[in-house]
Amino acid sequence: MSLREIVTIPNPVLRRKAHPVTKFDDELQVLIADMIETMRVAPGVGLAAPQVGISQRVIVVEYTTNEEDETAPKKLFAVVNPEIKITDEETETGVEGCLSLPGLLGEVDRSLAVIVKGLNRQGKPVRIKAQGWLARIFQHEIDHLEGVVFTDKASKIWKPEADEALVDNV
């Protein structure tokens, strides 16, 4: 495993629709392992392949229900060719940051519940029901696969004060 460089705006790969993955080979396994390590070191709670300069439909997400307890177990997701279905018409505005847009925060309206369908790293089908913060993370990362960044959807964007920098980067 190795760290990959996180690309930032205006890198054009962040604005392109990513290509579907067709081969579940060693190269894909290395990409996923590198993305997980890069996400953790950054630190972030999610990362899409375009954020490391690779135009492929791959995301990784690591989530815990208890952010205050550093020893709380985390659930790791690696999803290839993810598709999202909105399952709750109710939305909520929340603050987001992004590893590819350092130094910015924004208020983004997102659905409260989604179902993510895709393939795991071995090519087997997965279906994930996500609500709340986890649903927001998945929506943010899948947007990256469509060439969309959170500032495209934000109702308000700002540079955070020092105490606001605690927002998780997705």
The model's pLDDT over 59-100, given as tens digits with 9 standing for 90+, comes to: 999 998 776 777 788 999 999 999 999 888 999 999 999 999
pLDDT category of residue 148 using cuts at 50, 70 and 90: very high
Sheet containing strand 91-96, edge to edge, reads 91-96, 105-111, 154-158
Average pLDDT, the chain: 94
Sheet containing strand 125-131, edge to edge, reads 46-48, 58-63, 75-86, 113-119, 125-131
Report whether pLDDT(2) > 60: yes
pLDDT category of residue 163 using cuts at 50, 70 and 90: low
Active-site entry in 5, 62, 141, 164: 141
The confidence score (pLDDT) of residue 73 equals 87
For residue 12, what is the DSSP state?
G
Q: What is the pTM of this model?
A: 0.93
The confidence score (pLDDT) of residue 161 equals 83
Q: How far is Cα 65 from Cα 50, in angstroms, rounded to an integer?
A: 27
For residue 165, what is the DSSP state?
G
Instruction: Give the rounded percent of residues in the chain with a pLDDT score beyond 90.
Output: 85
Report the CATH number of the 12-166 domain: 3.90.45.10
| Burial (0-12, 13-18, 19+ Cβ within 10 Å), 44 | buried
Q: Is 96 a catalytic residue?
A: no
Task: Say how many C-beta atoms besides its own lie within 10 A of residue 81's C-beta.
Answer: 18
Token pair, residue 120, equals: 């795991």
The confidence score (pLDDT) of residue 91 equals 96
Report whether pLDDT(12) > 70: yes
The confidence score (pLDDT) of residue 164 equals 59
The confidence score (pLDDT) of residue 162 equals 74
The confidence score (pLDDT) of residue 69 equals 75
Q: HEC states along 84-125?
A: EEECCCCEEEEEEECCCCCCCEEEEEEECEEEEEEECCCCCE
Q: How far is Cα 53 from Cα 7, in angstroms, rounded to an integer?
A: 6
Instruction: List CB contacts of 124: < 8 A, sequence separation 6 or more.
Output: none
**pLDDT of 37-64, one tens digit each?**
999 999 999 999 999 999 999 999 999 8
